[in-house]
Amino acid sequence: MKALSRLFRGKCRARIRKAALLDQIPPKPGSRTGTSTARRSPTPRPIQYLAPYVFKVAISDHRILKVEENAVSFSYKKPGSTRLRTLTLDPLEFIRRFLQHVLPKGFMKVRYYGFLSPTAKLPLEDIKALVELAHGFTVTVPEIELPPWSQPNGQEPGFYEVQDEPICRACGGPLRFHSAVRTPAALGLCP
């Protein structure tokens, strides 16, 4: 962590110097060593925590209620609440908070690019093969146990005949097992 702290501090200092703002900062904070911390997510559901940042913009236009010379008012909801609240901030504080949600240069929103994009044509098997080829190791995907009430019907891969015929709650028709969704843990991507 010490190396990360020095690197982060050096990059911050270089950017401040490049923006010609170094003379506006008292020397004492720059002389301290500072710390950088890397740790496990405090929440048991990091994906749920990150989803609003990955799949949405920081704030949509309809939430900004009023913009004045010395104040910006916008609406928000606290996590777990349905009540709409209003917050008024100084314009610089609003911009500071907004910029905390802007992706760094070179980063991309997951939903627009890559193999998770809606327009991606490459199947997961091809992606695994490319990773194996590029990095020289085998990506192992554990076999998924099929539900006990399903067995391959021999006609189409991925479709299964139902032995005990579970019924759809919506239409009353028979359900067929189509596929299983693999979690990152099942793929061996999580510790």
In angstroms, the Cα distances linking 99 to 72, 104, 188 are: 15, 10, 34
Does residue 80 fall inside a structural domain?
Answer: no
Cβ neighbourhood burial of 119 (10 Å; 0-12, 13-18, 19+): exposed
Read off the pLDDT of each residue in 68-81 and give the average, rounded to a whole number. Answer: 91
For residue 98, give both structure tokens: 């907004």
Tokens read off for 73: 């008012």
pLDDT of residue 88: 96
At residue 160 the predicted structure's pLDDT band, cuts being 50, 70 and 90, is very low
Report CA 23 to chain centroid distance, whole Å: 37
Residue owning tokens 């911009």: 95
Residue 2 belongs to a domain? yes
Task: Say if 190 falls within a structural domain.
Answer: yes
Domain count, the chain: 2
The stretch 31-47 carries a mean pLDDT of: 59
Alpha carbons 60 and 99: distance in angstroms, whole number: 14
DSSP state of 186: T
pLDDT in tens, 3-36: 777 777 788 788 888 887 777 776 654 455 555 5
pTM above 0.85, yes or no: no
Residue 64 within any structural domain of the chain:
no
Place of tokens 């929440």: 43
Range of the domain at 162: 122-191
Most confident of 8-17, 157-166, 179-188: 8-17
